[in-house]
Structure 1
Amino acid sequence: MWLSDGELKQTFLPYVEQNSHWYSKSIRGASTNLLEALRVNLNKMFRKYCINTPLRMAGFLGNAFEETIWMTTLQEKSHYWYQPWGGRGILQLTHPENYATYWKFLGKTISNDFKSYQTAYGKINHMKGNDVRKEKMKVMQDANYPNLAEYHRIREDISSRKTKFPTDSSGFYWVSRSTSISKYADEPQQLEAVTVGTKSYYRSPSFWKVANVVNYGSYSSSRTQYGTSINGFPERCCGYTNCLMVLTELKFPDGKEKLEIPKGWKQRDIHGNDPK
């Protein structure tokens, strides 16, 4: 599959549910610009990493829309303790270890200086308490490590829409887990409706596992299914629901009925314009 401009915009969710309220998501503005900028590299990444079925694409995009705050940013906007090693890219690479793993995959040699930095960072990561870790990270900021300037530069490339790295790093993350995320995306869909007011979104055990790996790096059955441990899981499901509607032939269960379109939803038109 190769998604055209209109097809990619159609996958972008028209609605998102947060705290029992529905909010419309417009395709105009920053989201359109980012989708347009990434489309070709996103399609190339899908082919390179075999995210090449409707279910795999839906699993990827359902998470990507939430990770990028509805396609408005390629860099995590937060003040968490681990900055400046916060999330970058479509699926948000985080922490020096994950950046270095990707760079090694690209054939880059990781210097002993960076390895030493990574070891020191790892010790902070294992400390208890975000305030403690944030205090310790003050000495780990870029300005104190001019010898690592090259790594700081290529780290920023992963959040630049002008390069392939926001998409390519995310495809690498998808396949580099101990179990490729595609394994979970390929599982049979047991769709379950979640109705909030006049609309429904859908979740499934398969997508729950996909979101687990995106968030934690691995899936664990010890996490309560559909619990609150996954950041923004309902929002991810809204993106997933819309992608299933656009990319697959699946029907949406609603009591005794099988719906073509989820309850209360409207599709974008063939050009990806907002539903009227």
Structure 2
Amino acid sequence: QMVPARALRGLGAGIPAQIVYERVRPEAGQLVQSHSTELNCALRKYTINTPVRMATFFGNAVQETAWLRVTEEINATNRWYAPWIGRGFLQLTHPSNYLNYWHWRGRVIDADVERRLRQAQQQANAQRSNQPLQEVETQLPRQIVVWRTDIAIKKYDSADSAGYYWSMNKANREADVASSNTRHPFTLHTSSEQWPGQRFTFYENVSFRRVSCLINLPGHINRTDPQLNGLVDRYHAYAYAQVLLLDQSIFPDASGVMQFLPENYHVKDEEPR
């Protein structure tokens, strides 16, 4: 129910001029059935245990997993941080985040290997090139590579790493701050698969936006216009999660009257309402 039949996608960071509305792939939602036990355990373990916290978590996780479809970042092999690409339900990315998670798990990591990885990350970040990381890659112990892959392929690791990252960034603290949904009408881009050139609506929410920045772009947390990847998509996912979990009329219509469903809500293969 948190995966719509059609979804918004912003073509650019933040709230871009080009926003499209398109059908999600048939595999969307498949991670729910296969990972439900591990997800529930992670939610309980990391106290993501209120409707608002869960809605905020899934508003991000649904988008980061391409609508609950994959646990590894798509088309990322040439990214400047590859092969330390996003994995898990909150797309753990960069050597430092993997290393910190493994320390959390109590795993022993050779100090020299860790030093070289962190140094290579700094160089890759400065150069916007993954060459420094690739140079270290050939010298990594096999166990490090296995652990890294496990974040995507082991159900426990995919869910637990997300709960860890959420907790490490104190996302519950931001999610718990009461914040209302603000209606944001706009015109779909002419390249949109569905409804090109027509009016549409998504809902902004300050607390959710701040959590999204904590997860993906912490340097922009205090900006009202964060240049966050997939921000519009996340807002769209968050609205669906709120419908499922909050059970309240919290979406204002054009007149300011609160509605139970957001405008253009669309789960089944029918015309949006």
1:126 CA displacement: 4.7
| Residue 154 (str. 1) matches residue 153 (str. 2) | no
Aligned counterparts of 2:230 and 2:101: Cα–Cα separation in 1 = 25
Kept after mapping to 2: 8 A contact 1:63/1:211: yes
CA deviation vs aligned residue, 1:81-125 (integer Å, no higher than 9, x gap): 111111110101111111111111111112123223224314414
Q: Which residue of 2 aligns with 1:176?
A: 168
Kept after mapping to 1: 8 A contact 2:117/2:133: no
Q: Which residue of 2 aligns with 1:7?
A: none
Amino acid aligned to 1:121? A
Aligned counterparts, 1:170-209, within 5 A: 170-177=162-169, 180-196=170-186, 197-209=198-210
Q: TM-score, normalised by structure 1?
A: 0.82
Q: TM-score, normalised by structure 2?
A: 0.83
Q: Which residue of 1 aligns with 2:33?
A: 36
Report the count of equivalent residues.
248
Structure 1: segments with no counterpart, 5+ residues: 1-9, 269-273
Aligned counterparts of 1:136 and 1:121: Cα–Cα separation in 2 = 5
Kept after mapping to 1: 8 A contact 2:121/2:132: no
Q: Which residue of 1 aligns with 2:7?
A: 16
Percent identical across equivalent pairs? 28
Aligned counterparts of 2:48 and 2:220: Cα–Cα separation in 1 = 19
Kept after mapping to 2: 8 A contact 1:198/1:263: no
CA gap 1:66/1:93 in 2 versus in 1, 3 angstroms: same
Aligned counterparts of 2:131 and 2:123: Cα–Cα separation in 1 = 10
Kept after mapping to 2: 8 A contact 1:15/1:25: yes
Aligned counterparts, 1:1-276, within 5 A: 10-18=1-9, 19-25=18-24, 29-77=26-74, 78=76, 79-127=78-126, 129-130=127-128, 133-141=129-137, 144-146=138-140, 148-160=141-153, 162-177=154-169, 180-196=170-186, 197-217=198-218, 220-221=221-222, 223=223, 225=224, 227=225, 229-251=227-249, 252-254=251-253, 255-267=255-267
CA gap 1:15/1:250 in 2 versus in 1, 3 angstroms: farther
Kept after mapping to 2: 8 A contact 1:13/1:238: no
CA gap 1:111/1:25 in 2 versus in 1, 3 angstroms: same
